[in-house]
Amino acid sequence: MSNIISFDGNATHGDGSLAMPNGGTDVFINILALSGSAIAQTESEKRLTVYLSEKDQRTGRGCVGFDIVEMPWDKETFEEDKKFMLQAINGARNKTGWEKLDYSPDEELISYYLDTFENLIKRMAADDIREYSLNHWLSLSERDDPIHCGFPRCKKHNTFLTCFGCQICNSQLSDY
């Protein structure tokens, strides 16, 4: 099974979409969670990091793909948030937090994933935002969801917790 991150849901071969196997997706999300959690300052940056971390293979193997335009972007903070996402990608590329992993990611493969994801993020413009996405995502969360409780962090990995717990703790429990 594979997961697809596309720009707008119309993924076709050669359109720049990112297709990854379950294990690759897990590693990709882990390193973005580590990097994003290390640098996120604003609420919108923290929300974007949690959103990515919720693409947890333990809860949705083969069905955790998403569209860039449906991420929880906010038009008011879009330019800053886009810069943040590019910084998080660069941090992952520079191995921010990788020492907290219990494995060594395949750098060549991860480089391809990050480059492709970066190109998708760079394509994004404020006019592409699906305005209902942020409110819809927030409305699905329970009152005690970490995004409503001050963005708590995992004590072991220092990443933001999601409604599923810690992305990295969960991936260490998985058997690929």
Distance between CA 95 and CA 72 in Å, rounded? Answer: 25
Higher pLDDT, 171 or 73: 73
CB 36 within 8 A of CB 27: no
CB 135 within 8 A of CB 1: no
What local confidence, expressed as pLDDT, does residue 56 receive?
67
Distance between CA 160 and CA 47 in Å, rounded? Answer: 9
* Percent of the chain surpassing pLDDT 70: 90
Residue 53 has pLDDT above 80, yes or no: yes
Residue 116's closest CA among 14, 47, 10, 2? 14
Residue 52 has pLDDT above 80, yes or no: yes
Residue type, 6: S
Residue 166's closest CA among 37, 76, 18? 37
When pLDDT is averaged across residues 10-33 and rounded to a whole number, the result is 85
Higher pLDDT, 175 or 156: 156
The residue ranges of DSSP E strands in the chain, in sequence order, are 2-6, 18-21, 66-67
CB 97 within 8 A of CB 35: yes
When pLDDT is averaged across residues 36-40 and rounded to a whole number, the result is 98
Residue type, 112: Y
What local confidence, expressed as pLDDT, does residue 14 receive?
65
Distance between CA 53 and CA 66 in Å, rounded? Answer: 12
What local confidence, expressed as pLDDT, does residue 176 receive?
44
Report helix, strand or coil for 18.
strand
| Mean pLDDT for the chain overall | 88
Whole-prediction pTM: 0.91
* DSSP assignment letter at 150: T
Question: In the structure, what pLDDT confidence band is assigned to residue 59 with cuts at 50, 70 and 90?
Answer: low
